[in-house]
Structure 1
């Protein structure tokens, strides 16, 4: 009542027609047409701009730190046996954009900038593989064991299980080495044995690993085709399809088991050139779509002759029951060697 007499109030009354609302002022948001409002309004886009600027600087800082770390990893290191190994990674000189990039989320340029999957345009993929048949490329680690890692992903959905692949191939080679020497006279069996047994003992069933972590190996022990690809087919009793720039070949087992599942798709491997490289130097594989049926590369031209020498019937029709292979018009005998 005293307030009514004096006309003085401890707080200001507000007209009922004026109601303050919580949150963003009306009309202010992320729409482009709302960003040109009066500077007297509390425009939240200014706050978002500062936030994005900070985030952008953090991304650039992390990329620069990763660039320095990868450059160190690219240097030659010595393994326990005194052999030099080279870590494969693309040229990182353009691994991050400058501060003029408005989005602050620049495109990555090196395998290390991605997670387990790479976009399908990251490498130059063979035209023999239908783009609709795969979603992404598996980001296989470039530690010298990439070929065995690609097989491990295909077999176990885990590229880190590559030592299991080496153990299995080693055991199979112990069993068939003499047969390989006799019937695959165009293969370098001694080199095949050195590659497969590198880092492990050349004794069937032995699981000892003679390498220190992180595992690395020099290019002398990288996965080699056709030798390693043929041995993988004989080890896992599955076709192995190898893609590279000049050609694509499917290797079939020459010691097929009596009860084999022909419906199993071939194991896919692809040799690519990493960014910054000038020669094929890295094995990868694809994340295939099950709904798309591929037409696989032509069967190795030597397969029929080897089967005949072994006194075994031609088994191509057996594989063609559920797997479609391309016809080979001209065969070029070529070793697929990865080089830096």
Structure 2
């Protein structure tokens, strides 16, 4: 029997748990067995990964292939395990060396043609991997800037399975951006609404300034059209930029909902304004197997405006 392993991350909200992906090729009828409490999207990875490997011009093992996700008692959900499954299978089949695969965390979905597609939650996943002592991560190429926001871990971006094979052989892939530059980058928030745009409303503007200075809650009362929403939208512009620790928290939360972080950490305090008909789930977040943040969480370290 030939075995190999790689690593991925199971996310529960912003908390991540390292998952070892084991592949074993042994005697038996040709089939693929996936165990370890996978959900529907993850269970379908058997067929998705087989087609991706074939699309890259490689052969899927023609014997009994068992893929185990450890710890087996932890429910696992999502398609971001695809890349780790492919790496473990290729290492078990002898296509790539076992060394780099067994020491790296891999996050990404694979397409049927062998392309590696972006997934949500890369930033919190790599934060969990760093805490667990992993020093190398392999992510989809479009998300390499987001992944490089996590210091202390070497990041490789792959656009297809050919790139993955090169990285697992220890050969550099061209076009990797500089990690030091990515760690210092900041996501541009664009032009900020300015309190100077408000005409009149002197007392209301003063109240907004006091709320911003002291971190207070504020209640805006008035007839429709007098400028309550306009004032609330300008409150974040009075707040200072977030320090590194807070910016990383906010960026990780927004990564869970697929926010674009290629420009760097979110330094400006966020502004969340849910619709007045928003459901409880939209406000507080949640989910059956994958917890997703709601409007309240997305306002973390910023402003939540309830109209």
TM-score for the superposition, normalised by structure 2: 0.22
Tell me which protein shows more strand as a share of its residues.
Answer: 2
Q: Computing the radius of gyration over CA atoms, which structure comes out larger, 1 or 2?
A: 1
